[in-house]
């Protein structure tokens, strides 16, 4: 894993920074992942509602929520949407806006009301992916597919992580480390 990149993220963020722990791939409405809407809402509240400045956000996806970090080819190949009762592809990652940071905060079609990972990333949000959980999810998926092996599925996962998601050894340890670097926890469980 890229320890230097992990430490750069943990050491960044300024005075206002929040870490989100996601274990289950929850959705709050069709096409809207709970994790991303919570991250956006926190950033919006800090910047626009409360006027306290920018909020840095970091999500640590562990357990089954590691699927948020996988591209559409993995969702299709391994039936992830069906397995987790979600959309057929990882539509939750893709922006619904043009990602223009000059948008009006209340514009329903602007970046500040875009509940996607790409919108969070464009605003500076960061994502860590638990390798331990990725290994476990690969094992479960392989056990349900003829001819698949845990190692083969894991290798596929490792090669198909979405841009902006950094694989770290253990999500639970990453959450703890984030707190040691001043990130305040917000659990999405």
- d(Cα 14, Cα 162) in Å, to the nearest integer? 26
**25 and 117 Cβ atoms separated by less than 8 Å:** no
Q: Give tens-digit pLDDT for 43-73.
A: 999 999 998 999 999 999 999 999 999 999 9
Residue among 92, 83, 85 nearest 36 (CA) = 92
Q: Give tens-digit pLDDT for 107-147.
A: 999 999 999 999 999 999 999 999 999 999 999 999 999 99
Residue among 54, 49, 45 nearest 17 (CA) = 54
Q: Which two tokens stand for residue 68?
A: 């948020």
Q: Which residues contact 81 (CB under 8 A, 6 or more apart)?
A: 75, 87, 88, 89
Share of the chain above pLDDT 90, in %: 96
**128 and 60 Cβ atoms separated by less than 8 Å:** yes
Mean pLDDT for the stretch of residues 137-159: 97
Query: Residue 187 pLDDT more than 90?
Result: no
pLDDT, the chain, mean: 96
Residue among 67, 74, 65 nearest 153 (CA) = 74
Mean pLDDT for the stretch of residues 82-105: 96
pLDDT of residue 138: 98
pLDDT of residue 189: 64
pTM of the prediction? 0.96
Q: Which two tokens stand for residue 90?
A: 């990882």
Query: Residue 188 pLDDT more than 80?
Result: no
- d(Cα 94, Cα 5) in Å, to the nearest integer? 24
């Amino acid at each position: 894993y890229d320890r230097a990149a992990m430490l750069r993220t943990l050491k960044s963020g300024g005075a206002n920074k929040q870490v989100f722990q996601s274990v289950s791939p929850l959705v709050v409405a069709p096409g809207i992942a709970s994790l991303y809407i919570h991250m956006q809402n926190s950033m919006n509240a800090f910047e626009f509602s409360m006027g306290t400045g920018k909020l840095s956000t970091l999500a640590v996806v562990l357990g089954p929520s590691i699927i948020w970090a996988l591209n559409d080819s993995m969702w299709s190949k391994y039936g992830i949407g069906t397995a987790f009762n979600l959309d057929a592809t990882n539509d939750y990652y893709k922006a619904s806006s043009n990602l223009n940071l000059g948008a009006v905060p209340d514009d329903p079609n602007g970046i500040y009301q875009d509940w996607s990972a790409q919108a969070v990333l464009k605003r500076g949000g960061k994502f860590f992916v638990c390798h331990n959980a990725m290994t476990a999810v690969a094992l479960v998926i392989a056990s349900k597919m003829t001819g698949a092996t845990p190692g083969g599925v894991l290798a596929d996962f490792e090669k198909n992580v979405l841009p902006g998601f950094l694989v770290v050894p253990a999500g639970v340890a990453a959450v703890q480390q984030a707190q040691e670097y001043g990130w305040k926890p917000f659990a999405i469980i």
